[in-house]
Structure 1
Amino acid sequence: MSRGFESHALRHSNHAASRQGGSRVSDQVRTRTRARKTPTFARHGRLRKSNPFTALAKVAAAAVAVVMVSTVSVAAIATYDVATTVKPGVTLENETDGPAPKIGAIPGGVNLLLVGSDSRQGQGDAYGDPDVETSVLNDVTMLMHIAEDHSSATVVSFPRDMFVSIPECPDPSGGTFSAMSYQKINTTLSYGGLACTVKTVEQLTGLAIPYAALVQFNGVAAMSQAVGGVPVCIAEPIHDDHTDLDLPAGEQVLQGKEALQFLRTRHGVGDGSDLGRISNQQVFLSSLVRTLKSSQTLSDPLKVYSIAKAAAKNMQLSNSLNSIDTMAAIAMALKDIPLDKVVFVQYPTGAVDGGVAPSEESAQALMDDIKNDIVPVLDPGDAAFLSVPDPSEASAGDSTDAGGATADGGATADPSADPSTGDATPAPEALPSDVYGQTAGEHTCSAGRPVEDQ
C-alpha cells in the first residue's frame, strides 16, 4: 500500500525550497524518454556463509577490491566484516542471479553507486550528539562507470542540493513510497534507503545500476587512516567552524577525522556551496588514486588487510556485492586504468530557487559519453567554486612550450597521432563548459575561503 511520500519529504528535506516544490514538476528535471544502450554486466551470485578459515580467505580476496576513486568508494568496494558475519544485503531492481565470476577482471562494463550517509547513528559522539534524532540524508552520491573494455573509468558526483523527480520506491519495512515530482536528491536515502537512491539515479541517468554500497562517517575516517593518509595541496588556509577544520596552506597529509572534515567542509572552500565541496573532494580523490597506485597498496597484504577491516565495519551493501569474487573482479578491472583516464565530474546543474537543477543538454552530453565509453573531455572552466591548479606542477611543465617542443629544442610526439600512419586523429569533442571536474592525473589545490566571507 502506498504511503504518503510527499508529506514524508517535508519532514526530511533540509531546505525550505524543497517543502514548496513537492507538487511541482520541473521542466529541468522531467525525465526524458531515451533509448538505453544496455551495458554488459557480469552475472553474479551470493556465497554461502563459511567457516572461519574460509572467512580469512574472503578477507584476502576482498583486499584486492580496495582500490581508487574515493574514501567512500574504497570503503564501499571491500565487502565483508572480517571479524563477524556478512551484513544483510540490499536488493536492487537491476540485480540478476547467476554464477559469480572467477578471480580476474570482470567481463564488460560496470556501474556502481557509492553513497555516503550523514547519519550519526552508531558513530559515537565525534560528530555531534548521537542521541539527537536527525534525518538520514545521502551526503555524497557518486556513480562509478567502468568502460566495457576497462580502458577508462568515470566517477560522477551528484550535488546533494539538486532537485530531481523520485520514482516510486520500496519501503524497507513493507509497502512502497509514492513517486515525487520535485525533491532534492539527498532525501532519497531517508525514503526508501539505498535502493531508492539507486532507482533515482537510474531514472536520472538512463543507466542500469546493479551494484551499490553505503558508508557512514566512521568508515570514511577509518579508511583514510588505513591507507596511511592522503597528501593534499591547499592553496589558501582553510578554516571552517562548522566542521572544526583548521588547515594551513601547503601540502597536508590528511587521515582519520581530519580527512573526513576536509571532505565534508563546504563553508571553508570555494564559494561555500555544495559544488565547491565536490571540487574540494575531487582534490582529495585524485590524490587518493595516485597514492594507491604509487604505493603499490594492492600488493601489500598488511595494508590491504587493514583497509578491508576498516571498510567492512561501516558498510551496507547490495546483494550483488555480497560475492567476494564479483568485487575482486571489479577491482581487477580498475587497477590498470591510467590516471588520465580516471575522470571525476560534477553532474551539470544550474541555479534554481533553493538549490540547483540538472542542466538538461549538458547532462545529456555527459551521459552520452559515458554510455558510449568515451572518456569525458572537460572544458577548464573558471567558476568560483573550483579548485585551483597546483603551481608546482605548472612550473614543472614549463620545459615544454605551447608548440610541443622540449627545452632542448627537440620535438615531442603528437599524442593524437595514429601510431601506424603518423596521421593525427580527430580529438574528442569537449563537453559543455558547465561540466566541471578533473582527471586523477591532474594535480590541483583546494581553494580556501576567507572567514569573513563565510
Structure 2
Amino acid sequence: MARHGRLPRTGAGRGVLKLVGAGLAVVLVSSLCVAGVAVWNLTSQIKPGVALEGEENIPEIGAIEGGVNLLLVGSDSGEGNPAYGERGEHLADVTMLLHISEDHSNATVVSFPRDLLVPIPSCDGHSAMSAQKLNSSLSYGGLSCTVETVKDLTGLDIPFAAKIEFDGVIQMSNAVGGVPVCVASDIRDKQIGLYLTAGEHTLSGWDALQFVRTRYGVGDGSDLSRISNQQVFLSSLARTIKSAETLSDPVKVYGLAQAAVSNMEMSNSLQNVTTLASIALALKDIPLDNVNFVRYPGGTGTSGGLSVVIPNKSDASILFDAIAADQPITITGDTGDGSSVDPNAPVEEATPETPETPADPGATGEATAPDATQPPTPTSVELPSTIMGQSAGTYTCSAGQ
C-alpha cells in the first residue's frame, strides 16, 4: 500500500530537476518542486502555515519515502490587488490533487470542477452541508476546509496542501520566459478580455493568467472545458520547466522558487524547505508521459436553480481506488471539449534497436527465471472514458469557440 506523506529517515541533499506540472494548479506543483532548491533566505518569505489533520514534517533533505498526496488550490481572491477589481467571496477557482506513486515512477493530477456538487463538512464554525459547490469550501473554512472536503470525497489521506493567488501564476510564467501554447481556433472571451488567434503563442504575465482563467472562450463555455484548456497550459509548462534552457539557468530557477514561496499559503507540513525539496526529489525522474492530468468525472445539471456538475461517483471510485492501491492509470477518454491533440506535435525519431548480445556465448537460449528480488510491475488500471485528460508528454491545442 502507498504510504502517503511518510517521513524519510535517511537521504542526502541533491539538486532538484523535474517537476510535474501546471496551469493554476500546475503552477502550484511546479512551485513546490522548484522551491526546494532556492537560496535558503527565501524561507523568510514563506507565509504562516495552515494546520491540517494528520500532517507530518520531514526532517532531512532526500526524496520522500513512499507516495505523496498533495492538494493544490488556486484562489480567486486577488489578495486585495486592485488590478483584479472588487472580489466577492474567496472561492477555489482551481482544485487539484497531486498523487506521486510510492515507487516514484508515475504521478497523477486530478482536477475537480469548481461547480462539483459535494458534501462539505463542518468547518471553522460553519455547519456541515450535504450539497454545495466545491469552490465554496474555501470561503467556509479556508484551505483546511477544502482539504477535508476532498478527503471525504475521495477517501484519500491528504497530509500536504497549498493555495496560490493570481499573482503567483503571473510570476511563474514570467520566471520561465513564457509558456508556449497552441490554439486550434480563435479564443474570444469578452468576459475577461482575452483574445487569441489560432496558432502558436508564448504566454507570460497577465496573458498567461487570463489563459488559465478563460471559461467563455473555450469549448462549450463550461468549467469542464476550462479544465481541459488548463491542461494544455499545464503540460506545456511542465515541458518548459524540464527543458535544459530552464534548469540550467539559475536566474530562472530562483525566480520560480521566489514566485512559489511569496505567493503561496502552505500547510504546516510544507513550511520547511526540506519538505519541498523532498517532494521535488520524488518527482525528479518521472518521465513526462508518466505524469497524467485527469478530470473528475461528472455532467452538468442544476441544483437550487444553479448550474452545477453532478459527480459520477461510480466511475470516480475506479480512479481513486487505483490511487489508493498505488496502481498506474491509463487514460481511455479524450482530452475534453476545451482542447484537442496537436496535429503538428513533434515526432520523436525512433531509435534503432541494438541486437542483444548473450552474456554467455555458450548460452543455450533457455529463458531465465525472473529476478525474485525485484518487485512486480503494478498493473495499469484503464480508466472509464468519462474520465478525460492527457499526459504531460502529450502536445495539445486549446479549442476556442
Superposition TM-score, scaled by structure 2 size: 0.84
Query: What's the counterpart of residue 115 of structure 1?
Result: 73
Mapping 1:219-298, distance limit 5 Å? 219-295=168-244, 297-298=246-247
Q: Match for 1:39: what amino acid?
A: R
One-letter code aligned to 1:95: E
User: Which residue is 1:301 aligned to?
Assistant: 250
* 1:422-433 map, 5 Å: 428-433=380-385
Q: Does 1:336 align with 2:279?
A: no
Instruction: Give the superposition deviation at 1:412.
Output: 12
Cα distance in 1, alignment partners of residues 368 and 91 from structure 2: 52
1:68 aligns with 2:20: yes
The CA distance in 2 between the partners of 1:207 and 1:83, in whole Å, is 29
Who is 2:129 aligned against?
A: 180
The equivalences for 1:339-358 within 5 A come to: 339-353=288-302, 354-358=307-311
Cα deviation, residue 339, structure 1: 0.9
| More displaced 10-residue stretch of structure 1: 80-89 or 102-111 | 80-89
State whether structure 2 residue 96 is matched by structure 1 residue 139: no
Contact 1:231 1:252 in 2 (8 A): yes
- The residue number in structure 1 matching 2:160 is 211
User: Is residue 379 of structure 1 aligned with residue 332 of structure 2?
Assistant: yes
The alignment yields a C-alpha RMSD, in angstroms, of: 3.0
Partner of 2:115: 161
AA paired with 1:439?
A: S
Relative to structure 1, is the Cα distance of residues 38 and 260 closer, same or farther in structure 2, using a 3 angstrom cutoff? same
Gaps of at least 5 residues in structure 1 are 1-36, 46-60, 401-405, 414-418, 450-454
CA contact (8 A) 1:42 1:101 kept: no
Q: Taking structure 1 as reference, are residues 309 and 96 closer, same or farther at Cα in structure 2, changes over 3 Å only?
A: closer
User: 83, 88, 94: which one pairs with 1:126?
Assistant: 83
Is this contact kept in 1: 2:95–2:111, CA < 8 A?
yes
Matches of 2:176 and 2:259, distance apart in 1 = 10
Any conservation in 2 of the 1:362–1:434 contact (CA below 8 Å)? yes
Residue range with higher mean Cα deviation, 291-300 or 270-279: 291-300
Q: CA contact under 8 A between 2:183 and 2:397: conserved in structure 1?
A: yes
Paired residues, number: 369
What's the CA shift string for 1:9-58, capped at 9, x where partnerless?
xxxxxxxxxxxxxxxxxxxxxxxxxxxx663423389xxxxxxxxxxxxx
Q: Could you tell me how far 1:428 is from its partner in structure 2?
A: 3.7
**Aligned letter for 1:143?**
L
Secondary structure of the 1:121 match is helix
Matched, 1:194 2:143: yes
In structure 2, C-alpha distance between the alignment counterparts of 1:420 and 1:190, rounded to whole Å: 60
Structure 1 residue 242, shift from structure 2 partner: 1.2
Give the aligned partner of residue 96 of structure 1.
56
**Deviation readout 1:383-438 (Å, 9 max, x if unpaired):** 5x2411111128x48x99xxxxx9xxx9999xxxxx9799xx99845211100000
Structure 1 SS opposite 2:382: coil
Measured after TM superposition, the shift of residue 308 of structure 1 is 1.4
The 1:218/1:73 distance shift into structure 2, 3 A limit, reads: same
Confirm whether residue 43 of structure 1 aligns to residue 7 of structure 2.
Answer: yes
Matched, 1:440 2:392: yes
Query: Would you tell me which structure has more strand in proportion to its own residues?
Result: 2
2-side partners of 1:67 and 1:261: how far apart?
23
**Contact in 1 for aligned 2:185/2:400 (Cα 8 Å):** yes
Write the distance in 1 (CA, Å) between the matches of 2:368 and 2:297: 38
Partner SS for 1:284: helix
Structure 1 residue aligned with 2:276: 327
Cα deviation for residue 75 of structure 1 reads 3.4
AA aligned to 1:390 is: D
Relative distance call for 1:283 and 1:62 in structure 2 (3 A) is farther
SS at structure 1 position matched to 2:327: coil
Could you report, residue by residue, the CA deviation over 1:65-112 in whole angstroms, capped at 9, with x for unpaired residues? 883311233235538883845421100012135xx3422211111011
Provide TM-score, normalisation by structure 1.
0.75
Structure 1 residues 438 and 85: alpha-carbon distance in aligned structure 2, compared to 1, 3 A threshold: closer
Amino acid at match of 1:280: N
Would you say the 8 A contact 1:65–1:329 is kept in 2? no
CA contact (8 A) 2:183 2:199 kept: yes
Aligned pairs for 1:383-394 within 5 A: 385-393=337-345
Residue 116 of structure 1 aligns to which amino acid in structure 2? G
